[in-house]
Structure 1
Amino acid sequence: MDIRQLKTFIAIAEHGTFAKAADAVGLTASAVSQQIQALEAEVRSELFDRSTRPITLNSQGLQMLEAAQGLVRSAEDIVDAISGRAIGGTFTIGSVRSSALSLLPRAIIELKKDYPDLKIKLHVANTDELLNDVVSGRLDSAMVAEYSGVPSTLRWSPFIKEPLFAIAPRGTEPMPASEMLSRLPYVKFISRFRLANIIETEVARSGIVTNVIAEIDTITAVVACVVHGLGASVAPWSALKETPEEVVAVPFGDPQIHRQIGLIERRASPRAAVIDQLHRHLVSFSGEFGLPR
């Protein structure tokens, strides 16, 4: 088994036919067929269902694809690091479904300017899945909120410490957060993410008695409900920065509550330079709340 065979195998999976894969990797269709035959002989299993048109990966092929992508990415990373050539290959970044996700596309665009030869893929999932994928190498890095269960093999580097605000529809008279959340119908953020726990812990600590009118599982939808007049709620800065004039916002908590979000990576990551640069861009887009390494 060699990297050329794995790249050819990945190309077939991506393009659907041996002929299209041959064009993609610069080989003849005959050479592609020979490489796949050699690969299947080495793993002692067929990797494709050849009864379909176009052919598709069978269960062994799907398992092989995941391994092949990781091996090719690691090999390219090593060559980049040793040779000093322009950084290329594929950089895979994960993220939780967070309001701070709005910062990531802007940072990725800047990262593409830094590394034009780099192909970037974004994957959104829950925190536990992202941690497992970074540990296994399926992801190079992931954006997650502060989390007590980060394995010792990973490093978590915060890039933002953002404040939380109590928010109400535009035109609401200014009042303290505790009064706002008590007097107006309450749009409750329900989630197993840490942010929901932070909010409800402070609501309980402050003795705020809420009148829940809706329970919503994304911050984006919570803010939309408030903007359209349904009631009051709590949201982080990153969820409000695009529409600051659409709501009345006052500090939540005394002192004001903050939450941190950062990047996780393997401690010996071959993509450390790329992750450092991504972190710098995220800090830049976080404004006054950015946290340099």
Structure 2
Amino acid sequence: MISELRTFSAAARLGSFAAAAERVGLTQSAVSAQIRRLEQELGHALFERTGRSVTLSAAGHLSLGHAENILALFDKMRDPAADIVVHGRLRVGAISTTHTTILAPAVASLRVNYPALTLHIVPGVSMGLMDRLDAGELDAVIIVRPPFGLMPHLGWHPLVRQHFVLVVPAHLPPDDWRQIIISQPFIRYDRRSFGGRTVDRFLQAQGIVPNTAIETEEVHAILQMVASDMGVAIVPYILAVRAMPNIRVVPLGEHTILREIGVLTMLSWTSPALDALIAHLVQACPGDELPSDARAGEQAP
């Protein structure tokens, strides 16, 4: 009877079976037949018919409100999530390189859709954020996928893969990437971080021992140091690499190393708010934007 109720509502609002037929996509005779069936089921006339126009009967006026309430409830049954009110407070940890490119746009759209939801953003490195999640201090963490297997009580939600690139001062003469790393001061991505460990494993596999001058976990600081002619570095290709002046990307030959960014959660706890956050993070993730001159192959570390 849902179809009949929709047709009844359209005819009542439009005052014409012909107009209702156009609205619901039926012929006028099919509309008339649906109204007759509904009147037979209810046991009373819904319309007073006068020529080509129709007006609601007294019983029709009473029935229209009930019909539209039934239709509204049916539509909610088709989309159970529509009744869920996303509210409360989420404690979210995030590594610094995700703040501007992933987290900020996701939170902006999340707040538009769910203004009753508040977030507490906690910066940190992947390992430290994992520990805080495990201790119950955070509800979710946006981190680099660990180079080891996850404990069974943790859930991983992948967001994006990011390539690592060699960045050098813009004025540095072109040379083989290996020779650049060996001959220039090397600004190392901190080996305590998962990304730094990825770089370290790559260098070891290539038999390269760089002349490490500085080691830090802050990628934006590394880029600024390279731009200031303090050395060269291997870093993930994030928005700041494209935006930073006075640096240049050098391809790593046939070798491309990757890291995966994702959301880590506790499998024992979920909520509509957490589900909404993850959905908005997925939507906010940029695609693979590695410059064409740095695409020389793809080899997972």
TM-score (norm 1): 0.62
Shift of 1:109: 1.4
Shift of 1:138: 3.7
Q: In structure 1, what is the equivalent of residue 112 of structure 2?
A: 113
5+ long unaligned stretches in structure 2: 1-79, 291-301
Task: Report the CA distance shift for 1:159/1:216 in structure 2 as closer, same or farther (over 3 A).
Answer: same
**Aligned AA (1:151):** M
Q: In structure 2, what is the equivalent of residue 39 of structure 1?
A: none
The 8 Å contact of residues 93 and 140 in structure 2, kept in 1 or not, is answered as yes
Instruction: Provide the C-alpha distance between the structure 1 equivalents of 2:197 and 2:151, rounded to a whole number of angstroms.
Output: 22
Q: In structure 2, what is the equivalent of residue 287 of structure 1?
A: 287
Q: In structure 2, what is the equivalent of residue 7 of structure 1?
A: none
1:16-95 equivalences under 5 Å are 84-95=83-94
SS class of match (1:288) = coil
The 8 Å contact of residues 126 and 194 in structure 2, kept in 1 or not, is answered as no
* Structure (1 or 2) with the larger CA radius of gyration: 2
Q: In structure 1, what is the equivalent of residue 278 of structure 2?
A: 276
Task: Report the CA distance shift for 1:270/1:178 in structure 2 as closer, same or farther (over 3 A).
Answer: same
**Aligned AA (1:112):** R
Q: Percent identity?
A: 18
The 8 Å contact of residues 182 and 208 in structure 2, kept in 1 or not, is answered as yes
Instruction: Provide the C-alpha distance between the structure 2 equivalents of 1:183 and 1:144, rounded to a whole number of angstroms.
Output: 32
Task: Report the CA distance shift for 1:157/1:85 in structure 2 as closer, same or farther (over 3 A).
Answer: closer
Comparing 269-278 with 226-235, greater Cα deviation is found at 269-278
Q: In structure 2, what is the equivalent of residue 265 of structure 1?
A: 265
Instruction: Provide the C-alpha distance between the structure 2 equivalents of 1:167 and 1:113, rounded to a whole number of angstroms.
Output: 37
Task: Report the CA distance shift for 1:130/1:149 in structure 2 as closer, same or farther (over 3 A).
Answer: farther
Say what the alpha-carbon RMSD is for the aligned residues: 2.7
SS class of match (1:171) = coil
Instruction: Provide the C-alpha distance between the structure 2 equivalents of 1:242 and 1:136, rounded to a whole number of angstroms.
Output: 37
**Aligned AA (2:167):** I
SS class of match (2:222) = helix
Q: In structure 2, what is the equivalent of residue 21 of structure 1?
A: none
5+ long unaligned stretches in structure 1: 1-80
Q: In structure 1, what is the equivalent of residue 74 of structure 2?
A: none
1:1-293 equivalences under 5 Å are 84-96=83-95, 98-103=96-101, 104-135=103-134, 137-147=136-146, 148=148, 150-238=150-238, 240-252=240-252, 254-267=254-267, 268-271=269-272, 272-283=274-285, 286-288=286-288
SS class of match (1:255) = coil
Between Structure 1 and Structure 2, how many residues are aligned? Answer: 207
Shift of 1:266: 2.6
